[in-house]
Structure 1
Amino acid sequence: MRVLEVLGICFVTLLALMFAIFFRRRLLRLGGGTIRLQVRTNTMVPGRGWSPGLGQFVGDELRFHKMFSLAIRPKRVLDRRVLTITERRLPAGPERLTMPVHWVVLRCAMGGTDVEIAMAETTVTGFLSWLEAGPPRDPGSVPGRSIFGPRPLEG
């Protein structure tokens, strides 16, 4: 009899966890401005380390929430004021097995750290327009890029 009780409790707990994850995803989508994306959280093995989730646009931030998590806070926050796209490519190698065919991988630089995100091609268009639609930056806050190579040292 004890075995059936333990199995019943485990089953009810599993159902409650699945409901909590589903309800959390519904709450995140309720506010609008959400997209499906993957963020590369581990770069130890080439082509691996992708984590599926939801991206939520809130002001100047794209907040990444892991798909199968109970956490209320986002796992990663991308700020469009310091975010730049450095590379755009198609999934390669093992990445092709974990992502749908029509997805694109974007390598982004954000304050000295590199972040890779993947999303559908149609979502990339909206993401890039959101990135460009930010308020004008203070000219002194971000160093300008020279089109002729690195700046000479002053001295």
Structure 2
Amino acid sequence: MRTVLDVVGVCFLAAVLLVVAFACRRRWLSRDGGTFDCSLQLAQKDHGRGWALGLARYVGDDLQWFRVFSLAWWPKLVVNRRQLQGVTTRRPMGNEPLVTYAGHVIVDAALRDRTVHFAMTEEALTGVLAWMESAPPSSQTYH
């Protein structure tokens, strides 16, 4: 009986430490501001599949994306504003409302070599569009 209680206690302590680690990581990522909830479609699959909950932040000319349920201190995806060729928005379709945050719109960002799909609030989208347009004139390329 004592062994079972020891195992349960160790599992409970590990779960508490994991929750504390996630909270500390999120606090550390949000320390400089410019952070917002943002899901990312990691795999190009049908609508509603391949999405991961995340957190995005602005760092200079880069938009960094981090998974929520990860202990990694580095971003999973970095998008430089010079890579962005265009942005379109749409409402979630299929199962997408079930796997993204409530009230988010889907943002299809065309990069030079591929399209990346984000899910974010309308307010965060306004911030991303303003960030894209605020690039110094010397860094913008015109086609």
Contact 1:81 1:137 in 2 (8 A): no
For the residues of structure 2 that align with 1:35 and 1:52, how far apart are their CA atoms? 11
For the residues of structure 1 that align with 2:126 and 2:71, how far apart are their CA atoms? 30
Q: What's the counterpart of residue 94 of structure 1?
A: 95
Shift in CA distance, 86/29, structure 1 to aligned 2, threshold 3 Å: closer
Alignment of 1:111 onto 2:112: yes
* Cα deviation digits, residues 80-131 of structure 1 (max 9, x gap): 0111224211111111223355321111122211100111011111110101
For the residues of structure 2 that align with 1:80 and 1:143, how far apart are their CA atoms? 14
1:114-129 pair list within 5 angstroms? 114-129=115-130
* Cα deviation digits, residues 54-87 of structure 1 (max 9, x gap): 1110000000011111000001111101112242
> What SS does structure 1 have at the residue aligned with 2:65?
strand
Q: Which has the higher contact order (CA 8 A, sep 6+)?
A: 2
The residue type equivalent to 2:82 in the other structure is R
Alignment of 1:66 onto 2:50: no
Q: What is the number of residues matched between the two proteins?
A: 142
Shift in CA distance, 136/83, structure 1 to aligned 2, threshold 3 Å: same
> What SS does structure 1 have at the residue aligned with 2:38?
strand
Shift in CA distance, 47/123, structure 1 to aligned 2, threshold 3 Å: same
TM-score (norm 1): 0.84
Contact 1:85 1:106 in 2 (8 A): no
Q: What's the counterpart of residue 83 of structure 1?
A: 84
Q: What's the counterpart of residue 29 of structure 1?
A: 30
Shift in CA distance, 100/12, structure 1 to aligned 2, threshold 3 Å: closer
Q: What's the counterpart of residue 45 of structure 2?
A: 44
For the residues of structure 1 that align with 2:59 and 2:135, how far apart are their CA atoms? 12
Q: Which runs of 5+ in 1 are unaligned?
A: 145-155
Question: How much identity, in percent, do the aligned residues show?
Answer: 37
The residue type equivalent to 2:127 in the other structure is G
The residue type equivalent to 1:90 in the other structure is R
User: Over alpha carbons, which structure has the higher Rg?
Assistant: 1
Moved over 6 A (4+): none
Q: Which moved more, 1:36-45 or 1:125-134?
A: 36-45
